[in-house]
Amino acid sequence: MSDIQTQFVKNVLSGAEQNLKDAGSAFAPSNIALSKYWGKRDAELNLPINSSLSVSLGNLGTQTEIRLAEKSSVYLNGELVDPADSFAVRTLEFLKLFPMVGTHFEVRTENNIPTAAGLASSASGFAALVMALNDLAGWALGPRMLSMLARLGSGSASRSLSHGFVQWHAGTADDGTDSFSERIDTEWSEFRIGILELSTARKAVGSRDGMNRTVETSALYKSWPAQADADFQVIRRAIEVKDFPMLGKTAERNALSMHATMMSAWPPLIYLQPESIEMIHKVQRLRDAGLELYLTIDAGPNIKLLFLESSVKEVLSEFPHLQIIKPFA
Ligand code: 2P0
């Protein structure tokens, strides 16, 4: 918590009236970026260097309930979290930005994201937290304002306020007021995501430290902002005209380019494991054989496959244990 963050929250809330309730609750979906966010231009306001675009994961995400209390406590999936645990610390630190609501909170969070699958829970976590807070405080803020509050908790959380495809505009203002997310008004019911769980090991370097290290030390990162912006535009267009190969190819190249910037950092950030590389080759082989299949990878070893409903049978025969998500169901 800093003065700059406190002032930012005041700005966002300046037009909102407060009508406090006994409790607030909300659900937010997790999301997977098709065009990635990697690198900050301002760490305090969590402003990204580049815009990013994601797809939300439907009913996979976080349900949060919040109420005022005598003493702060955080529950995760029904169990009280040790106050020294980083999850509780991050949650309660974030809530200190909202003294106009209260000083102590009881927060109950349920994640139905298979945490082992390497799906980010901080994205849906902070999004659900600000939505629940909005409900508790009765501010009646819309997704644009909420996305800016969620961003302070975690960048990718700003993309978890809406279902479907979401774009996070990087913005250019130093005060962070033009860096927000909004839903793209296109449904694509045939769109599928497959989660290939390859490793459940906790990553050695978290995203936050990883992206800072990349920005500071990777020579390849210099080419990233321009590519990220170009990919963002191409994917947005591909969604508009429902050009799946254009979307898939751009998303895959975007993810692998991000990994190239990570690998060229020092010390190197190698999130991929041998099984990840094996799967990348397998997807390429299947694509060469005519299957419309692409992939994306976040800051971890697990692979997310991208395909359409028409390919489900073939994809499942190649990846029998695949968990398939229908983002528009
Ligand atoms: C993304 N990732 O666009 C990228 C791709 C991981 C790889 O956003 O420091 O947890 O809290 O803003 O949002 C993960 O980073 O980082 C992430 P902070 P966050 O989904």
pLDDT digits 0-9 by tens, 171-196: 999 999 999 999 999 999 999 999 99
Of the candidates 220, 291, 313, 289, which has an alpha carbon nearest to the alpha carbon of residue 259? 220
Give one DSSP letter per residue of 252-313, joined into a string.
HHHHHHHHHHHHTSSS------HHHHHHHHHHHHHHHTT---EEEE-SSS-EEEEEEGGGHH
Q: Is the pLDDT of residue 119 over 70?
A: no
Ligand 1 midpoint to CA 298 (Å)? 8
Average of per-residue pLDDT across 284-312: 97
Query: What residues contact residue 202 under an 8 Å CB cut-off, 6+ apart?
Result: none
- CB 156 less than 6 A from any atom of ligand 1: yes
Q: Whose CA is nearest to atom 17 of ligand 1?
A: 156
CA 68 to chain centre: 27
Q: Are 70 and 236 in contact (CB under 8 A)?
A: no
- CB 31 less than 6 A from any atom of ligand 1: no
Return mean pLDDT, the chain.
96
Q: Identify the pLDDT of residue 113.
A: 82
- CB 231 less than 6 A from any atom of ligand 1: no
**pTM of the complete model:** 0.96
Token pair listed for 30 = 């997790």
Q: Identify the pLDDT of residue 118.
A: 58
| Cα–Cα distance, 109 to 99 (Å, whole number) | 21
Query: What residues contact residue 123 under an 8 Å CB cut-off, 6+ apart?
Result: 30, 31, 154, 156, 157, 159, 160
Q: Is the pLDDT of residue 93 over 70?
A: yes
Q: Which residue has the tokens 């003294």?
A: 99
- CB 37 less than 6 A from any atom of ligand 1: yes
Ligand 1 midpoint to CA 323 (Å)? 22
Q: How far is CA 244 from CA 58, 193, 281, in A?
A: 20, 13, 20
Q: Whose CA is nearest to atom 9 of ligand 1?
A: 208
Q: Is the pLDDT of residue 116 over 60?
A: no
| Cα–Cα distance, 205 to 211 (Å, whole number) | 10
Q: Is the pLDDT of residue 154 over 70?
A: yes
Q: CB count, 10 Å around CB of 27? A: 16
Burial of residue 202 (CB within 10 Å: 0-12, 13-18, 19+) is exposed
Q: Identify the pLDDT of residue 202.
A: 73
